[in-house]
Chain A
Amino acid sequence: DGGITQSPKYLFRKEGQNVTLSCEQNLNHDAMYWYRQDPGQGLRLIYYSQIVNDFQKGDIAEGYSVSREKKESFPLTVTSAQKNPTAFYLCASSIAGAGGRNEQFFGPGTRLTVL
């Protein structure tokens, strides 16, 4: 089955810790995205990547880092510099190309809680 997987489903972080969220897709999509969703809110873009070894900051990149070493994988690290990381994190992918329509498909999400 083609799709997007995220792990873990739930993650608990202590103050001062860095944690890494996994996102893998087998849809052969070039572009991948990370969003954050807070309760009762819409989605805010953290980082996105349209091609391997290249990525751009979204609207709320501070305190986060990413890498894109493989087409299938786009891990997100939540660093200790992110002051309020408790949120629902969503990974998405799409066929890339600025002229494309950019239908994005989402993984199941990771719920991060800071203890």
Chain B
Amino acid sequence: QKEVEQNSGPLSVPEGAIASLNCTYSDRGSQSFFWYRQYSGKSPELIMSIYSNGDKEDGRFTAQLNKASQYVSLLIRDSQPSDSATYLCAFKAAGNKLTFGGGTRVLVKP
């Protein structure tokens, strides 16, 4: 079993709709979780951090964490074509390292 599992996609979303991305992880001791956005050919950009169970909202983004079920999700409301990118989830593992998933590619269609 991989440490971090993400559906590779592509996740096709109509403009204005909600994009829902999921990520499951295997390390029950993880305390910090992150979502990065990566445009094609560019480096990852941190868009959300979440540390406790529940929801965290930042603009059109909402991260949801459920440690008991070992998953973290990202909702993108009112999706725009500029949201088309690959979204990487990551969690803080032992030794102060991050472990990354393979990413979910999102395509927002006008």
**A residues adjacent to B (C-beta < 8 A):** 31, 33, 40-45, 48, 50, 56, 58, 90, 96-98, 100-109
Contacts and interface: CB of A to CB of B under 8 A. Distances in A.
Contacts of B92: 101-102
Given A101-B49, A101-B51, A102-B32, A90 B44 contact: yes
Q: Classify the interface of chain A: helix, strand, loop or mixed.
A: loop
B96 interface: yes
A43 B88 contact: yes
B98 interface: yes
A105 B46 contact: yes
Contacts of B51: 101
Contacts of B46: 103-105
Contacts, number: 56
A114 B46 CA distance: 30
A50 B100 contact: no
Nearest to B45: A106
Contacts of A44: 100
- Give the size range of B's interface with the partner: 20 to 34
Contact of A42 (B45, B95, B101): B101
A44 B95 CA distance: 15
A31 B96 contact: yes
A98 B45 CA distance: 22
Given A31-B96, A48-B97, A106 B44 contact: yes
A109 B49 contact: no
Which are the 8 A-B pairs with shortest beta-carbon distances? A42-B102, A106-B43, A42-B100, A43-B100, A109-B43, A101-B32, A102-B92, A98-B96
Contact of B88 (A42, A102, A105, A107): A42
Contact of B43 (A90, A96, A102): A90
